[in-house]
């Protein structure tokens, strides 16, 4: 069972699709092993097994096999997984699931269904927390005149920590981190537990967006007819996913303030047009920067990082560039006559 588990308005997970799938299986196959790959709250496997039995599938067993795939890398991650997690009550059921992965050279970890379900939530929440943490450090770096990319490199060189998910920028978005961090916080709440780290992870992510917005508004404050070029709409490179995208949020907030926004993205334009604000969209980044007072790197697509920045400087009306992903060649931008700003390495713009 690999179906959507969207968030409800209060952050709790909507299990309607999972329940519908289990009902359908139970009615058609009264004795089966059902494997849930969807991200679900701990305890869901047991609840789905009880549901299947109530629907007549008295021989149905339910196991957990959460996926750990990255958007833009799903096939690679499936074929070369870091680990395969199988949560089953019965060793025979676990062996059946493990056999499916026999062609892959993968480490298989066995546990209970609850442990498998919680491990998926915990993994995503921890990755989101790392991003929120380094973004908080980036604010400190700006205040003291430090370069957060160097700080991240030093911290990540510690073998106990590692470099992954320590890139400061606009914060996290997409279909997984927001849903799963909120969902896990609600799981804790429903259990009568406080989860201040989860709450802080969410709040820090929202503050980082506000910080970027504040930087843009400061840069256009003197322009009553301000124009902003937004490079990137997807929540990260190599995907067209704009769900919970910080870039789309920025476009909306700027538009609401009467600022003209021209946005570009190599993959995500169609999706952004469906869900985003009424801004001008273009596939050509050079058209996006034409006449702009501020250019914002919102998604670190390689083609944006490698733009002809002297040409960008000639096309812009203003001269400010906000590197909201800390990915641009600051020396080249400054030598092109542009004013470089960032989220965590403004020392390079001084």
| 3-state secondary structure (DSSP) of residue 227 | strand
Dihedral sign for Cα 208, 210, 214, 215, please.
positive
Residues 36, 113: Cα–Cα separation, whole Å: 10
The runs of H, that is alpha helices, within the chain are: 16-28, 44-54, 74-79, 91-100, 113-144, 148-156, 177-190, 196-219, 246-256, 269-275, 285-289, 302-305, 309-315, 330-335
- Kindly name the residue from 31, 45, 111, 176 that is annotated as catalytic: 176
Contact 35, 3 (CB under 8 A): no
Q: Provide the angle, in degrees to the nearest 10, between the axes of the packed helices 16-28 and 44-54.
A: 40
CA-based radius of gyration for the chain: 23
Q: Are the beta carbons of 64 and 87 closer than 8 angstroms?
A: yes
- Specify the DSSP class assigned to residue 259: -
Q: How far apart are CA 323 and CA 345, in angstroms?
A: 9
Q: 3-state class of 131 per DSSP?
A: helix
Is 111 an active-site residue?
no
CA dihedral 113, 119, 124, 127 (to 10 degrees): -170
Catalytic residues: 176
């Amino acid at each position: 069972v690999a179906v959507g588990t969207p968030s409800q308005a209060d952050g709790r997970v909507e299990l309607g699709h999972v329940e519908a799938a289990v009902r359908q299986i139970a009615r058609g196959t009264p004795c089966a092993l059902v494997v849930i790959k969807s991200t679900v709250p701990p305890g869901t496997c047991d609840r789905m097994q009880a549901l299947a039995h109530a629907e007549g599938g008295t021989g149905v067993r339910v196991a957990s096999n959460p996926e750990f795939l990255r958007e833009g890398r799903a096939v690679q991650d499936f074929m070369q997984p870091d680990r395969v997690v199988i949560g089953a009550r019965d060793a025979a059921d676990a062996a059946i699931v493990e056999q499916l992965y026999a062609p892959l050279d993968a480490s298989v970890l066995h546990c209970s269904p609850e442990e498998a379900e919680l491990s998926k939530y915990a993994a995503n929440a921890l990755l989101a927390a790392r991003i929120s943490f380094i973004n908080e450090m980036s604010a400190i770096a700006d205040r003291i005149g430090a370069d957060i990319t160097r700080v991240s490199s030093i911290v990540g060189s510690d073998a106990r920590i590692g470099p992954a998910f320590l890139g400061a920028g606009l914060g996290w978005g997409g279909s997984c981190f927001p849903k799963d961090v909120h969902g896990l916080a609600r799981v804790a709440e429903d259990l009568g537990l406080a989860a201040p780290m989860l709450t802080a992870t969410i709040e820090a992510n929202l503050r980082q967006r506000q910080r970027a917005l504040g930087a843009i508004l400061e840069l256009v404050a003197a322009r009553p007819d301000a124009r902003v070029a937004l490079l990137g709409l997807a929540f990260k490179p190599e995907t067209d996913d704009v769900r919970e995208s910080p870039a789309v949020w920025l476009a909306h907030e700027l538009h609401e303030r009467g600022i003209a926004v021209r946005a570009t993205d190599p993959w995500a334009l169609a999706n952004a047009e469906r869900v985003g604000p009424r801004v001008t969209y273009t596939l050509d980044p050079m058209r996006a920067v034409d006449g702009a007072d501020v250019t914002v790197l919102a998604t670190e697509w390689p083609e944006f990082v490698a733009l002809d920045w002297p040409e960008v400087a000639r096309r812009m009306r203003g001269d400010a560039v906000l590197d909201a992903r800390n990915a641009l060649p600051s020396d080249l931008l400054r030598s092109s006559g542009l004013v470089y700003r960032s989220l965590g390495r403004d020392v390079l713009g001084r």
